[in-house]
Amino acid sequence: MKVLQVVDGIGWGGTKEQVYLTTRELKKKGVDVHIALSFQYKQMVDKLSPYNVPIHFFEDYSKKARYKWSNYKRLIEIIDSEKFDIVIANSPHAFDYVRVAKLFLKTRPKIINVKRSGRLPSALSKYLKYKAADKIVVVSKGVEQFLREKNFFPEKLVTIESGIDLTRFKPEPEKKEELRKRLGLPLDKKIFINVANWNPSVKGQDKLIEAFSKADIPDALLVLVGIDTDKYAKEIAKKFGTEDKVFGLGFREDVHDLLNASDFFVLSSYLEGIAGALLQAMATGKVVFSTLAGGIGEYLRDGINGFSVPVGDFDALADKMKLISGISEKDYRVISENAIKTARNYSIEKTAEKYISLFQELLS
């Protein structure tokens, strides 16, 4: 079988991480997998270069890239010339490209759309766009159930949970002090960390900073990691007089080290798929707490392998943050061990195996 992964844009986040990891693992498992991306996307090219994944450039990236016919034309030529059996659109914008391309293709590959959140498309988008997919992959059973209840092509829905790289995200408590020294983090503070690109309307970082300020934990710091957190976190913190306790580090490649250097992971999202960043934190043995957005409730058990609050309840988030900051070493250790066990069920190897099963089903 011959598979094309299509991804739009540049930068890094949960979607791009999953495209990279699934492409890498499919290649390792012997699938003839290619990737189509932006001319400007050097970061993805660099990450995939050790795995000899064939790369095709189709998108001249800009904010108006979807309005350029030349981008669609290049994608059509790539799909037809390479005669792919399966084309995977990994985001809503990537699916825009694939949906239009399908109208002009001479070949007839099977089309998979990956839908990473439970946001319900409009009726117009449903029938003009998503109807063209042979299968719609969602990343949690909760999202699948929600979409089934809304009669969103239930016959096309398949759950394949996002996976994490357990060789990279693993507990290394013995390195905590060394990592803090190297990363410039204080040794005598309790560090709460949030990993998400700055997007308050989805990730709720502004409300997280407010909740942290209300919790008023004397010996604690809040560290935010992700694109543009270095631009906006301090600005929000100043409103609550906690700018000396809140740090935005921007995009970082060393998230695994930052997690191992921290004490607690917090996620404040309104909307999620499976929340890969949360699973990464659990894999490193952090005590985590999160809103129950998207599919998080499928694996996060309050008081067992982490802690949870309802979506949007930031008063509860502040209260729980204060409570968790005083957790005993014994309770921390038990919850940490349970978190690690949970994360092991979400390896990227298992994700790739489920994709291969789906490919075989589509082509049988």
Q: Whole-structure pTM over 0.85, yes or no?
A: yes
Query: For position 353, what pLDDT does the model report?
Result: 97
Asked if residues 276 and 14 have their Cβ atoms less than 8 Å apart, the reply is yes
Q: Distance (Å, rounded) from C-alpha 35 to C-alpha 39?
A: 12
Residue-wise pLDDT for 258-317, tens only, equals 999 999 999 999 988 889 999 999 999 999 999 999 889 999 999 999 999 999 999 999
| Helix, strand, coil in percent for the chain, rounding step 5 | 50, 20, 35
Closest Cα partner for 287 from 195, 169, 192? 192
Q: Distance (Å, rounded) from C-alpha 116 to C-alpha 162?
A: 9
Other C-beta atoms closer than 10 Å to the C-beta of 103 total: 9
Domains and CATH numbers, the chain: 2-163+347-363 (3.40.50.2000), 173-345 (3.40.50.2000)
Residue-wise pLDDT for 219-258, tens only, equals 999 999 999 999 999 999 999 999 999 999 999 999 999 9
Query: For position 356, what pLDDT does the model report?
Result: 98
